[in-house]
Chains A and B, each alone.
Chain A
Amino acid sequence: MDAPTPALQFVGVTKSFGQVSVIRGVTLDVPAGERHAVIGPNGAGKSTLFNLVSGLFPLTEGDIRLKGRSIAGQPPHRINRSGLARSFQITNIFHRLSVFENLRIGMLARHGIRYGLFRPVARLRRINEETREILSLVRLDARADDMAGDLTYSEQRALEIGMTLTTGADVILLDEPTAGMSRDETARAVDLIRDVTRGKTLLMVEHDMSVVFSLCDRVSVLVYGEILATDTPHAISANREVQQAYLGEEAAP
């Protein structure tokens, strides 16, 4: 083959809920190492697309390939083990466990300790060390022993990103990681995401164009379940069609 296998491929992906088709034939290649944003108006199907990739919903038609291998129809835990991890738009953490524990759960999965019943978790030195590394990567060292439910909103978002990293996936899906954050918090989150996704493939849903500009290599615009355009952030923002569809529908004639 000439081109290297893309990290993530959508091939004519379609999803209908009953009569309503939400995703209508999405075809997209995300090369390994790219940071790719999906933007689009509310209800365009961005979150549905994520739910299809991560295995929450089955596809209606088409195929999704992770590093060349089809993952369509697989349950979430298999897709995760194949190297794809996601975060959630609504913070999805273990509220009643400590921050450290939240991260360690994923770390245990990464090392294949899924049914570890015969030794105390405190003795797994390597896992605890690597968990600490992720902890400092997402800058939550000081909150290691606090309940995750007691963290501030932006700390919980950082934890969410940290959990996505723990399983060692090299394809990361972030669903609106900066939603609901202040300007400062957003700036910090962008730095954090840039740090932690170095060398990995990133697919993210994002509303904030400044985030997209500063983070992403390419952008896809999703409108009514179809990809309108895929290009660099600059080209996209100059695209007349995109402007009409997304950036200012009311302003369009």
Chain B
Amino acid sequence: MRTPLLIAAVLVLLAGVPPFLDLGLQNALVNVLIASLFALAFNLLVGQAGLLSFGHAAYFGVGAFATLHLMRVVEDGFGFPTPLLPLAGAACGLVVGAIAGFFATMRSGVYFALVTLAIAELFHALAPRWQGLFGGEAGLSSMRMPWQGVTFGSTLEVYYLALAWVVVSICLLWAYTRTPFGRLTLALRDNEQRVRFLGYDAHATKVIVFAISAMFSGIAGSLQAMSNEVANYSLFSSHVSAQVVLHAFVGGSTVFFGPLLGAAVFTLFAYLISDLTRSWLLYQGLIFVLVMLYAPTGIGGVVQYHARHWQRLDWSRLAGPYALGSLGGVLVAAAAVFLTETLSVLFDEPYAVARRDAGGAFPPFAAFGTGWDPLSPLTWLLPLALFGVGLYVLTRARRAIGEEWEAIRSAPTAAAAAAAAASRAGS
């Protein structure tokens, strides 16, 4: 089959490539790994059990702080093997998750989401004031101690440790879906009432799912703590909780590996773009909105859709419309980026200073490596034209793609065609 080969190839790349990358990218990859595990752990709850948590930062943060406490003890001479430090995060995530989950899962839907949000906010409010446990506003810091000749001094060593933990955790999360309890989790998402009338204690079941999700989130938090060697209350912020929701949904919460894709794409996006522009969070938000509107199953959903129809895809017919669609997308994106960046320059402090120096006139400004005149119509016609043309191309491409897919969907499946052929041969 293709899938195991694909996974093997990805693993080989993940293991073989990083030594040849620069330090910044190695660090970014560690963050990708952590975000991927966090997103998959989160998705156990939202994708499989149908419970949308808005406060998963709590368990991520608990895992991080637990690990830092253990690291500090190890620093003082306690002989705990450094590679096993994430066990602390797992254990604390599990326990805190079980307690929080007990209360949160008493309700479902919006109320569940609000309770999880409140629990995370509770940590966020408590942590800066609790010197002993969370190190106050400054937070906790520690050092990774060497173990068995491995110093864990370099980013690369941390990367491989994180890789090992993330791969093992993902395997466990995957195995979970194959167990009786994994199936029950899906049933719970579909119809909680029926689960109860089949003899299951729905509340207990939900608490366990919640705790397991929190446990793996705790491992992700642990790895973050080990990588950064510091943690403070900002780990509990709603930003962290929102980020994982974003990753899971852009990646596709209905597909097992979807959230992993979302986490990888967004983490790398943040790494690559955040140096270039301060508006990167805006772009991230725009992407999220567009994905939710036009591809609600996320990246993973789109990939899965193609994989499911793979046998019937005629790329010679699809490639054209897809290329056209990409072109349209690029044009529209270019227009959006141009406007955003231009406006951010024009409304920024330096430009206000420049205007004052120019006596209130509108002096030219620099963007994209060249100068622009804010009063020239050309400056504003360019993005408008890009947007118009891009939108036109995109609509055309969308229609063409729609027609192609209509043909693909209505075509008989290979299996059905074979069966029909067999029955004709038989009669």
Tell me if A46 counts as interface (CB < 8 A to partner B).
Answer: no
Instruction: Give the chain B neighbours of A207 by CB distance below 8 A.
Output: none
Closest residue to B178 on the A side, CB-wise?
A120
Complex Cα distance, B191 from A76, in Å, reads 14
Return chain B residues, CB-CB under 8 Å to A75: 196, 201
Q: Are A95 and B179 touching (Cβ within 8 A)?
A: no
B8 at the interface (CB under 8 A from A): no
Q: Are A124 and B194 in contact (CB under 8 A)?
A: no
Given contacts A114-B201, A120-B179, contact A97 B187 (CB under 8 A): yes
**A115 to B194 CA separation, bound complex (whole angstroms):** 17
Contact A109 B198, beta carbon cutoff 8 Å: yes
Output the least CB separation between A87 and chain B (Å).
9
| Centre residue among A75, A114, A163, A166 by max chain B CB count within 10 A | A114
When chains A and B are docked, how far (Å) is the Cα of A85 from the Cα of B183?
A: 20
Contact between B199 and A106, CB atoms less than 8 A apart: yes
Shortest Cβ distance from A96 into B: residue: B190
Among candidates B179, B184, B198, residue contacting A80 with C-beta atoms closer than 8 Å: B198
Q: Which residue of A lies closest to B182 (CB)?
A: A121
Interface residues on B, range: 20 to 34
* Cβ–Cβ < 8 Å partners of A106 in chain B: 198-199
* CB of A88 to closest CB in B, whole Å: 8
A188 interfacial contact with B, CB 8 Å: no
- Inter-chain contact B178/A121, CB cutoff 8 Å: yes
Q: Is A132 an interface residue (CB 8 A)?
A: no
The interface residues of chain B lying within 8 Å CB-to-CB of A109 are 198-200
Whose C-beta in chain A lies nearest to the C-beta of B198? A106
* A80 CA / B194 CA spacing, docked (Å): 11
Q: Are B190 and A97 in contact (CB under 8 A)?
A: yes
B contact residues vs A (CB 8 Å cutoff): 175-176, 178-184, 186-187, 189-191, 193-202, 205, 208
Give me 16 other A-B pairs in contact (C-beta within 8 A), A54-B197, A121-B178 excluded. Answer: A76-B196, A76-B197, A80-B198, A80-B199, A85-B198, A92-B197, A93-B191, A96-B189, A101-B186, A106-B198, A115-B208, A117-B181, A118-B179, A119-B179, A163-B198, A167-B198
> Closest 6 interchain pairs by CB?
A116-B180, A80-B199, A109-B199, A94-B190, A120-B178, A76-B196
27 pairs from A and B in contact (CB 8 Å cutoff): A80-B198, A85-B197, A88-B194, A92-B194, A93-B194, A94-B187, A94-B194, A95-B190, A96-B189, A97-B186, A97-B190, A101-B187, A105-B184, A106-B198, A106-B199, A109-B199, A109-B200, A110-B199, A114-B181, A114-B199, A114-B205, A115-B208, A117-B176, A117-B182, A120-B175, A120-B178, A120-B179
